[in-house]
Amino acid sequence: MAEVTHAMEETLRATDALAEDWILVVLLAVLGLLGWVNLVSPKKWRLLVRSFFSFRLGRQSLRDELDLQDRTLIVLLVAASASVSLFAYQVAIRTGGLPGGPGTWAQLFGGGLVLLVLQVLALRMLGLLFQVDGGLGEYLYTLLLLHVMLGLCLLPLTAGAAWPHRPEWRTWALWAGLAVAAAITLYRWMRALVLGFSEGVPPRYVFIYLCALEILPAGLALHHALRLIPDPSHPI
């Protein structure tokens, strides 16, 4: 009887797509990148916390602490993208929307990086097109820093969903992650409104930007994600 139970446990572990060995490798790689940033530039954590709880980044931070060529910021963005894409992979696998395996995660990871780069280029192009900043530079770094914070917040939830202490905790971890992602996204849009209005940008331009480059892509992604769920009553 004990041998049968042991064999069943081994089978369950072998078929658990949310707790495969490569997931542990990705999580350890993310932690390694974060550890490197902590060694090279420990001040980055204060910057992240300060920028998260403040609606404005401040001129000193924009002038002295934030640079797209800063390798620690780039590493943080890569680590955050890996974390976010891993969580998206878990949700997709749990709902039966995508096939499992590291190749699927790699596609989500690459797609997330491409989307992030496109957002950066779009903000840069808007600044060049209108020949005025209007808070675009500050919002660019706000977007990047909040993306890093999202990745950090999802990291423990991803680990909890992969190796839950109890089976039902996996569902709660995934739902909590979705709530965190939605909250940070709404918070980013709120900050875009505050930043645009405080810089004197006409409200119509702020809403056009949010609808075209923020809300519409998010809505399309959500619509596509809902279509992947085979049954509305299917639990995550």
Give 82-134 pLDDT, tens digit per residue.
Answer: 999 999 999 888 887 678 889 999 999 999 999 899 888 888 887 777 666 66
Please list the helix, strand and coil fractions of the chain in percent, rounded to the nearest 5, in that order.
Answer: 80, 0, 20
Give the C-alpha separation, 80 to 108, whole Å.
13
Give the C-alpha separation, 41 to 13, whole Å.
39
Residue 134 pLDDT:
64
Residue 225 pLDDT:
61
pLDDT average, residue stretch 182-209: 84
Is 90 exceeded by the pLDDT of residue 74?
yes
How many residues are recorded in the chain?
A: 236
Residue 144 pLDDT:
92
Encoded amino acid at 170, one letter = R
Give the C-alpha separation, 75 to 38, whole Å.
11
Residue 12 pLDDT:
42
8 against 37, higher pLDDT: 37
Give the C-alpha separation, 79 to 208, whole Å.
31
Is 60 exceeded by the pLDDT of residue 168?
yes
Q: Which helix (H) or strand (E) covers residue 7, if one does?
A: helix 2-14
Domain boundaries, given as residue ranges, for the chain: 2-228
Residue 232 pLDDT:
40
Give the C-alpha separation, 200 to 198, whole Å.
5
Q: What's the token pair of residue 133?
A: 């900043």
Which of the listed ranges 13-22, 38-47, 147-156, 185-194 does the model predict with the highest average pLDDT? 147-156
Q: Which of the four pLDDT bands, split at 50, 70 and 90, describes residue 164?
A: confident
